[in-house]
Amino acid sequence: MLPEPSAPREDRYEAPEVVVARLPQYVRILSRLQQEGAQVVSSQQLGEKLQVTPAQIRKDLSYFGRFGKQGRGYSVTHLLGRLKQILGLNSYWNVAVVGVGRLGRAILSYPGFSPDGFRLVAAFDENPEVVGQEVAGLEVLPMIRLNQEVRERNIAIAIVAVPTDHTQQVVDRLVECGVRAMLNYAPITPQVTESVKIRNIDPVLSLQSMTYYLTDGFEG
Amino acid sequence: MLPEPSAPREDRYEAPEVVVARLPQYVRILSRLQQEGAQVVSSQQLGEKLQVTPAQIRKDLSYFGRFGKQGRGYSVTHLLGRLKQILGLNSYWNVAVVGVGRLGRAILSYPGFSPDGFRLVAAFDENPEVVGQEVAGLEVLPMIRLNQEVRERNIAIAIVAVPTDHTQQVVDRLVECGVRAMLNYAPITPQVTESVKIRNIDPVLSLQSMTYYLTDGFEG
């Protein structure tokens, strides 16, 4: 017998991207609550931690099924389990890092990926002086090995840490090799087809979104 | 005569945080258009680049005044100038980096802050072996110098790149010293009072927001 589908596929894509982007924060908060021994959490409590309204919490979760009973809160273990399943976090994802400069090295040495479902399994660079070096236990491979490694190691995700003027080209190359999700550290928004997901880590944009609150709006 | 206020102060805070967070992307896109010699841009074009609807563009901008005329698009130079003014990007912001480990060094060496209005003017660490080192042209200072430097160098913003278990303590210390905006690289959400702004750079959350689209939702 086939397992009962957890949610009809056509429903999944109704959740707006902004809601999906919040789900990992739910997972993080619920994991901490579980570690602390909490059994139940209210939308009020979740809202405080996420800095959104309890109504927004209930609306967010309603895209993915029925959780909790009116006035009784959510079961921490059940909600956490379902959200991890929805986000595909029940197993590991193999990740490649492309670009092993200063930033790439910091990324490869960051201990935070593996406890949260991501294994950095390959590192690539086009600089012949960098290729062959060992960084954080990985041998840096030449770009020409990309296609083969992506296939053999089942790499669905790449972290791109190359200079800005190489970024689009590297992203295109990764898409050709079948990589379907990318995290880009260059300060541009690479263009990709709709079936490929990309997120940009951009500290400048984050800083600029705060200066608004530091000004009085009258200068200039 | 006093200059005419560009917008009444009470209006400024009606803009939702999610809209404010998009403004830096408008600035980046408009800057590029200006460099390319474009004079006018439509909400349609802006929408395509930002991947939101033209209606959302018009709504976003309506929080900050009247821009452009129906059917004639926006003046690139005028809109860019106003948005930079609204975001406080007409002058430099002095920024301190706290934590000079691998990540802190990558941040201090990143060339992208200065062209976009942020000057990294001080670096701090509590490790005596790191204090006194020169990194990217700055001498690393001990944490005890924080208060004095923040005041003397008019530092309103800090980038926090310290280990997770030190983050809240460092954030508290920065708030005490009068720092009003922070960019945090540890995978936690530090608690701050409402008058302080904080943004978290969290590659794991970004990765987890993409795996949703890589799964079929039936596993587990």
Structure tokens of A209? 């979104």
Structural domain includes residue A39: yes
Do B58 and B155 lie in one domain? The reply is no
Whether the predicted pLDDT of A110 surpasses 70? yes
Question: Which residues of chain A make contact with B6, given a CB cutoff of 8 A?
Answer: 217-218, 220
Whether the predicted pLDDT of A3 surpasses 70? no
Do A115 and A166 lie in one domain? The reply is yes
Do B122 and B82 lie in one domain? The reply is no
d(CA A86, CA A94): 18
Residue B18's pLDDT is what? 82
Question: Which residues of chain A make contact with B217, given a CB cutoff of 8 A?
Answer: 5-7, 9, 12, 85-86
- Of B138, B204, B102, nearest in space to A104 by CA: B102
d(CA B39, CA B31): 11
Question: Which residues of chain B make contact with A213, given a CB cutoff of 8 A?
Answer: 20, 180-181, 197
Task: Place B215 in a pLDDT band, splitting at 50, 70 and 90.
Answer: confident
Query: Touching check for A156 and chain B: CB below 8 Å?
Result: yes
Do B76 and B101 lie in one domain? The reply is no
Task: Place A93 in a pLDDT band, splitting at 50, 70 and 90.
Answer: very high
Per-residue pLDDT, averaged over B197-212, amounts to 93
Do B63 and B106 lie in one domain? The reply is no
Ranked by mean pLDDT, the top range of A3-12, A205-214, B170-179 is: B170-179
Per-residue pLDDT, averaged over B63-70, amounts to 80
d(CA B210, CA A21): 8
Residue A67's pLDDT is what? 82
Residue B8's pLDDT is what? 45
Structural domain includes residue A178: yes
Structural domain includes residue B105: yes
Whether the predicted pLDDT of A5 surpasses 50? no
Task: Place A134 in a pLDDT band, splitting at 50, 70 and 90.
Answer: very high
CATH of the domain at B169: 3.40.50.720
When the pLDDT of each residue in chain B is averaged and rounded to a whole number, the result is 89
Q: Which domain holds residue B164?
A: 93-205
Which of A60-69, A196-205, B26-35, B88-97 is the least confident region?
A60-69
Do A200 and A97 lie in one domain? The reply is yes
Do A168 and A130 lie in one domain? The reply is yes
B189, B199, B205 member nearest A209 (Cβ) = B199
Do A115 and A69 lie in one domain? The reply is no
Residue A216's pLDDT is what? 66
Structural domain includes residue A187: yes
Which of A141-145, A173-177, B205-209 is the least confident region?
B205-209
The predicted complex's ipTM stands at 0.88
Query: Minimal Cα–Cα distance from A43 to chain B, Å?
Result: 18
Query: Touching check for B78 and chain A: CB below 8 Å?
Result: no
Query: Touching check for B196 and chain A: CB below 8 Å?
Result: no
CATH of the domain at A30: 1.10.10.10
B6, B117, B218 member nearest A218 (Cβ) = B6
Residue B48's pLDDT is what? 85
Question: Which residues of chain A make contact with B110, given a CB cutoff of 8 A?
Answer: 103, 203
Nearest residue of chain B to residue A204 (CA atoms): B113
Q: What is the per-residue pLDDT across B123-164, written as a single tens digit (0 to 9) for each?
A: 999 999 999 999 999 999 999 999 999 999 999 999 999 999
Residue B9's pLDDT is what? 46
Query: Minimal Cα–Cα distance from B102 to chain A, Å?
Result: 6
Whether the predicted pLDDT of A15 surpasses 80? yes
Per-residue pLDDT, averaged over B68-89, amounts to 90
Per-residue pLDDT, averaged over B64-87, amounts to 88
Do B82 and B39 lie in one domain? The reply is yes
Of the three residues B34, B66, B86, the one that is the final residue of a domain is: B86
**DSSP H or E run through A27:** helix A17-35
Question: Which residues of chain B make contact with A89, given a CB cutoff of 8 A?
Answer: 208, 211
How many independent structural domains does chain B possess? 2
Query: Touching check for A35 and chain B: CB below 8 Å?
Result: no
Query: Touching check for A92 and chain B: CB below 8 Å?
Result: no
d(CA A217, CA B84): 10
Structural domain includes residue A212: no
With contact defined as beta carbons under 8 Å apart, do A214 and B180 qualify? yes
Do B105 and B30 lie in one domain? The reply is no
Name which of A97, A208, A213, A219 to mutate to probe chain B: the one with the most chain B Cβ atoms within 10 A of its Cβ: A208
When the pLDDT of each residue in chain A is averaged and rounded to a whole number, the result is 89
